Structure 1
Amino acid sequence: MSQLVHYEDQYLDLMRRIWNEGDERRDRTGVGTRSLFGETMRFSLRDDSIPLLTTKRVYWKTALREMLWFLSGDTNIRPLLQQGVRIWTEWPHQKYRAETDDDMSLADFEQNIVNDAEFARKWGDLGPVYGAQWVNWPRYEDAGQGLFRRSDQGYNQIVELISSLRTNPASRRHIFTGWNVAELSQMALPPCHMTYQFHVQSDGGLSCLLFQRSCDLGLGFAFNIFEAALLTRMIADQTGLHAHELVWTGGDVHLYLNHAELVEEQLKRTPSGAPKMRIIRKADDIFSYQFSDFVVEDYNPLQHIAAPVAI
């Protein structure tokens, strides 16, 4: 392995190792992958640093909108589509076509979601995915006679996390997760970036460790790492800490076999630059940030590389 001199070099090195040495096998999508198991990368978040890939353009504005949507607790794609964010629509579209035998195009499906609230309610919901678990984890109350009923108000893991960081920063329990075993079968897609743990240094430096059970290194990772860094910066802003480091650990880290052009093109490219992200307004709470509160500077990536999404 060559000496790593840019934060993105470790990503490209992992991509190269997976493509050249990864175990080739069939997967859930039927496309097939090459994969390695148990990989780790570290990214500095100091001085407003943000780990945006520079060897291809990452549409960070879309990723930002997705993170704000997660924090809202919403699980319906309608508010995303109203903002022009289409990254979640293939799963409900596939379900719609399977259950109705209607071969409606993806574009028409998306337009119906935007225009028709009732259609969106019926076909646009993804089940209890990320946001539902993060801010409304099911809570049950004693209903008497040995019975329990689900409470209208669930457990807000993000609120509790921020409270614990403020009141007990040395704790080793600063954790939230989306892996609710009882509800996995109801989700359009079980959480890939599933568990986040936070650590506070004695100087107030906040670090995040993200465990991602499954990672599409060619497509999904760019959003995953940006959003984890974004969330860490937001939490630091809310708790009076300063962002220090993001540690990413992947379980099954893979490249799809139909992404050969993406992989081979990206591995030819050389990373450069040091983008920054600033939060220009501290919101009253972490759920009140708006898109306009974030600015990315000094980001001059190479052109985007398109590749199909395996669903």
Structure 2
Amino acid sequence: MDIALQSRAPHQAQSRHFEWQYLDLMKQIWTHGHERSDRTGVGTRSLFGATMRFELSDNAIPLLTTKRVYWKAAAREMLWFLTGDTNIRPLVAQGVHIWTDWPLDSYRKATGEEIDRDAFEARIIADADFAERWGDLGPVYGKQWTDWPVYEPVDAEPSLFRKRPKGINQIAELVESLRTNPGSRRHIFEGWNVAELDRMALPPCHKTYQFFVADGKLTGLLYQRSCDLALGVPFNIFSAALIIRMLAQQCDLEPGELIWNGGDVHLYLNHRELVETQLSREPHGAPRLDIVRQPDSIFDYRIEDFEVRDYTPQSHIAAPVAV
């Protein structure tokens, strides 16, 4: 075991940088996690049940500083979710590659062609028909958030049901609920549609969001069922904080906290170099996120509306994605 992992002492809560809770969780999993087989075949060290809290007042944003988090990619993904789109083509066109591995893997298995990622993405961009066939992820995140399917009985045949042309826009209903009934305990949107899981390239990991209004502040809680702590969670906590900030602006509220709850929190066994490198580093600084424009709707934000300042992270740490 790396000496840095053994010697680091717990940090007192009153003096802790927000990132220590993440690093302490990483250390706990790496040193005491249960070693398990998993869907990808790579293997993990895991624990079940974890919580982190991040203060969002004064434009604070939980961007890790012990490695670079490419926040614009996470923001572009969130904006893509809010469109309800499920095809990777708009993401790839913006240089966002975080969803490519799943359709690429499906294409390789279906065709036997050993195409690399760059060539696959070039075809996705250049050929709309190819993108329609091979770039769609199924009814993932944004589809459920903005168009949850609803079925109604056929009048002449009550035992038959038909799908409504447009489903439930959970995000639009959430905004209305926050504005008109802030004390509600039903400020929730959900991605875990059991009936459609088998059609998704990946069932939702960050699955349930709930919100709470008190003293003019909006706090959000994210429950994440499956948590790739090294690669996925840094994006997830930024994205969750971002949507809290967007919702707060739309509802004339101040941002409160992000509370992150993880179910199966794990580190992949092939992430040793990343883990040991990151745990040898010290967090620093206080990143801030400014939203420079208030659009008319939660669905009208653009990447240019977000500016991050005072973010001076240490260097990126590469690691493989388990598909």
Q: Shorter-chain TM-score: what band? A: over 0.9
Q: What RMSD over aligned residues (CA atoms) do the two structures have, in Å?
A: 0.7
Displacement after TM superposition at 1:131 (Å): 0.3
Secondary structure of residue in 2 paired with 1:288: coil
Q: Does residue 224 of structure 1 match 2:244?
A: no
Tell me the residue number matched to 1:122.
Answer: 133
The C-alpha deviation readout for 1:10-62, integer Å capped at 9, x for no partner, is 00000000000000011110000001100000000001000000000000011
Kindly indicate whether the alpha-carbon contact (under 8 Å) linking 2:11 and 2:20 is maintained by their aligned counterparts in 1: no
Displacement after TM superposition at 1:140 (Å): 1.5
Matches of residues 290-305 of structure 1 in structure 2 within 5 Å? 290-305=302-317
Displacement after TM superposition at 1:148 (Å): 1.3
TM-score, normalised relative to structure 2: 0.95
* Correspondent of 2:89 among 78, 84, 102: 78
The C-alpha deviation readout for 1:59-96, integer Å capped at 9, x for no partner, is 00111100000000000000001001111011001111
* Correspondent of 2:266 among 223, 232, 254: 254
* Correspondent of 1:3 among 4, 7, 12: 12
* Correspondent of 2:47 among 36, 47, 52: 36
Query: In the alignment, residue 204 of structure 1 is paired with which amino acid?
Result: G
The C-alpha deviation readout for 1:279-306, integer Å capped at 9, x for no partner, is 1100110000011011101000101100
* Correspondent of 2:210 among 197, 204, 207: 197
Runs of 4+, deviation exceeding 3 Å: none
Q: Quote the Cα distance in structure 2 between the aligned partners of 1:3 and 1:15.
A: 17
Secondary structure of residue in 1 paired with 2:219: strand
Residue identity (%): 65
Displacement after TM superposition at 1:141 (Å): 2.7
Secondary structure of residue in 1 paired with 2:137: coil
Query: In the alignment, residue 148 of structure 1 is paired with which amino acid?
Result: F
- Number of equivalent positions: 310
Q: Quote the Cα distance in structure 2 between the aligned partners of 1:188 and 1:95.
A: 9
Q: Quote the Cα distance in structure 2 between the aligned partners of 1:79 and 1:259.
A: 29
Kindly indicate whether the alpha-carbon contact (under 8 Å) linking 2:45 and 2:267 is maintained by their aligned counterparts in 1: yes
Query: In the alignment, residue 102 of structure 1 is paired with which amino acid?
Result: E
Kindly indicate whether the alpha-carbon contact (under 8 Å) linking 2:223 and 2:263 is maintained by their aligned counterparts in 1: yes
* Correspondent of 1:162 among 170, 175, 178: 175
* Correspondent of 2:198 among 175, 185, 194: 185
TM-score, normalised relative to structure 1: 0.99
Tell me the residue number matched to 1:306.
Answer: 318
Q: Quote the Cα distance in structure 2 between the aligned partners of 1:258 and 1:127.
A: 28
* Correspondent of 2:65 among 49, 54, 77: 54
Q: Quote the Cα distance in structure 2 between the aligned partners of 1:105 and 1:44.
A: 41
Tell me the residue number matched to 1:16.
Answer: 27
Q: Which runs of 5+ in 1 are unaligned?
A: none
Query: In the alignment, residue 190 of structure 1 is paired with which amino acid?
Result: P
Q: Quote the Cα distance in structure 2 between the aligned partners of 1:51 and 1:297.
A: 12
Displacement after TM superposition at 1:169 (Å): 0.3
Q: Which runs of 5+ in 2 are unaligned?
A: 1-9
Q: Quote the Cα distance in structure 1 between the aligned partners of 2:41 and 2:184.
A: 43
Q: Quote the Cα distance in structure 2 between the aligned partners of 1:225 and 1:236.
A: 16
